[in-house]
Structure 1
Amino acid sequence: MTDEPLERWAARRQGRLRRPGELKAITLGAGPQRAAHVDADAPRLILEWDGFACQPLMPVENYAAARRVLNPQPDSTPAEVTGPITGRNPLAPGTGRHRKPTP
């Protein structure tokens, strides 16, 4: 059995490590940390990994606000939204081709 070269091991290890600037949210409710969606109205604390430890960044009021901070989405209006398969606006009136014609 041969040993893995140090450079390859270091590259694999670096790929597994958290990157500085990575954000995460923790619940500031009572009890142990649980799934993020549990107690959705509890305040959250956004933490930032600095390469050595998580540093507090900002408090937010609930789960939805934490999701907006962790996963920012570009602003879009309903007219810009398109369906996943057809490429058309899902909010526009349809042709009704999937329905049987009325007699």
Structure 2
Amino acid sequence: MDDEPLTDWAERRDAKIGRLRAVPVVPSNGPRASHLNPDAPRAIERWNGHTWELYGFAAGLAETQAILYPEAGKPSPSGPVPKPLGSGTGKHRKRQAPGPDSGGRTQR
């Protein structure tokens, strides 16, 4: 059996320390999905390497997202980067006109 070395596992586990998650504070039989209860308060929990511990509270979904994803609220300095079309002849591309050396035939 190919087991990974313990040091690799420990590095992977330690990389997750400090990760935050939000847990809606709703009755046990209520829906827990964030889009179903956007105004429900949330407990913010932090992973300490062994268990999730209480880190703080948020009043609603918007405040929770600001805590969990602070970089999302900052505008990017250069704006969105357009993706240029790459070369190729995929199905979504228009066929290229036949070249002078192809004898008038199109390649498929």
Fold shared per TM-score above 0.5 = yes
Structure 1 unaligned spans of 5+: 87-103
Aligned sequence identity (%): 21
Following TM superposition, by how much is the alpha carbon of 1:35 offset from its aligned partner in structure 2, in angstroms? 1.9
Q: 2:17 aligns with which of 15, 20, 26?
A: 20
| Structure 1 residue aligned with 2:75 | 76
Q: Distance in 1 between matches of 2:56 and 2:82?
A: 39
Measured at CA, do residues 6 and 71 of structure 1 come closer, stay the same or move farther in structure 2, by a change above 3 Å?
Answer: closer
Q: Determine if contact 1:27/1:33 at 8 Å carries over to the other structure.
A: no
Q: Determine if contact 1:24/1:47 at 8 Å carries over to the other structure.
A: yes
Q: Determine if contact 1:42/1:63 at 8 Å carries over to the other structure.
A: yes
Structure 2 unaligned spans of 5+: 84-108
Superposed CA RMSD in Å reads 3.1
User: Where do 4+ consecutive residues of structure 1 move more than 4 Å?
Assistant: none
Decide which structure has the larger Cα Rg and report it. Answer: 2
| Structure 1 residue aligned with 2:96 | none
1:1-103 to 2 correspondences below 5 Å = 3-7=1-5, 11=8, 15=12, 19-30=16-27, 31-32=29-30, 34-73=32-71, 75-76=74-75, 82-85=79-82
Q: Distance in 1 between matches of 2:36 and 2:26?
A: 10
Q: 1:59 is paired with a residue of what secondary structure? A: strand
Q: 2:35 is paired with a residue of what secondary structure? A: coil
* Amino acid paired to 1:48: R
